[in-house]
Amino acid sequence: MPDDSLQITPQPVRRQVEERLREAIITSRFMPGEHLSDRMLCDLFGVSRGVIREAVRLLEAEGLVIVVPNRGPFVAYLSAAEATQVYEVRGVLEALAGHGFAERASTEEVAELRAVFEEIAATRPGADRMALLTLKRRFYDVLLRGCRNSYVARMLDQLLNRNSQLRATTLSDPTRLPHTVEEIRRIVEAVERRDAEGAWQACRDHVAQAARVALRILNERAATGGPAPARRPAARRRAG
């Protein structure tokens, strides 16, 4: 019989499970603090325990999952205080990306950023949240590629993964989308003018407004008795 410990996991299968589990967390199918048992996930996705554990490990690195010793993996809980810190760092990194993009992106990349924005602008309130998050991810992919700063791109990309739950949270507010569109329009118009300072400020303003909405929702949830979070012991806790 084949030794399961030596089997090679097909990359596409692991990637599919990782993406579907990430989507389930971002869209709140799995709520903060919920236990992600191996058996439940194996049954849900129809894959082996090894595939599940690899996907969980990768999402733990993104901060979407925490693994509590002797208890297993749980959906990570992000408090309002932690969210504030995430947005503070994201605001600076995103502004640097916008500034660099305005200065160094190619004409083709500027046009590509405009094209993705037009898709976002065409989205109507009530549209599929995951589809909109995918569009925003494409927007950031172009922005990070065109800013020509690999350090900013790497750090912001990692932070955006941690920020996924918060972005989904802001989009749960039915009034948020029109404001998001106008904020991103300002970013695109600034880079089209090659106005680096304007792009910096537009990015800072976009993140500040997103933070305001997310923190309001998180505080409202806490006040009404949200899910009890599973937390890693302080000495072992991963930084967000």
In this structure, the number of other CB atoms found within 10 A of the CB of residue 6 comes to 6
CA 142, 29, 35, 51 dihedral sign is: negative
Looking at the fold, whether 192 and 93 belong to one and the same domain comes out as: yes
Same-domain status, 107 and 38: no
**Residues 103 and 180 occupy one common structural domain:** yes
One domain for residues 72 and 84: no
> Does residue 235 sit within a domain?
no
In this prediction, residue 225 carries a pLDDT of 64
Q: Is residue 166 part of a domain?
A: yes
pLDDT of residue 25: 83
The answer as to whether 95 is a domain residue is: yes
- Least Cα distance to 86 among 67, 55, 63, 56 occurs for 63
Residues 86 and 63 in one domain: no
Q: What is the pLDDT of residue 11?
A: 58
CATH number at residue 156: 1.20.120.530
User: What is the structure's pLDDT at 61?
Assistant: 84
Query: Domain holding 61: CATH number?
Result: 1.10.10.10
Tell me: do 62 and 181 sit in the same domain. no
Assess if residue 229 is contained within a domain: no
Residue 234 lies inside a defined structural domain of this protein: no
Q: Is residue 239 one of the residues assigned to a domain?
A: no
Structurally, the chain folds into a number of domains equal to: 2
The residue behind tokens 């976002």 is 120
Locate 219 and state its tokens: 């505080």
CB-hemisphere CA count at 13 Å for 77?
A: 17
Judge if 23 and 117 occupy the same domain.
Answer: no
Distance between CA 129 and CA 48 in Å, rounded?
A: 29
The answer to whether residues 127 and 201 belong to one domain is: yes
Residue 96 belongs to some domain of the structure: yes
Per-residue pLDDT of the chain (240 residues; tens, 9 = 90+): 444 544 444 457 888 898 889 888 877 788 888 999 999 999 999 999 999 999 999 888 878 899 999 899 999 887 888 889 999 999 999 999 999 999 999 999 999 999 999 999 998 877 777 788 889 989 999 999 999 999 999 999 888 877 777 777 776 677 888 999 999 999 999 999 999 999 999 999 999 999 999 898 888 877 776 554 444 443 333 333
Q: Is the same domain home to 128 and 203? A: yes
Per-residue confidence (pLDDT) for residue 200, from 0 to 100: 98
Among the three residues 42, 57, 76, which one is the final residue of a domain in this structure? 76
Residue 142 in any domain: the answer is yes
- My answer on whether 138 and 195 are in the same domain is yes
Q: For residue 40, give its domain range.
A: 4-76
Longest Cα separation, the chain: 65
Residues 61 and 93 in one domain: no
CB 206 within 8 A of CB 190: no
Q: Cα-atom radius of gyration of the chain, to the nearest Å? A: 19
pTM, entire model: 0.75
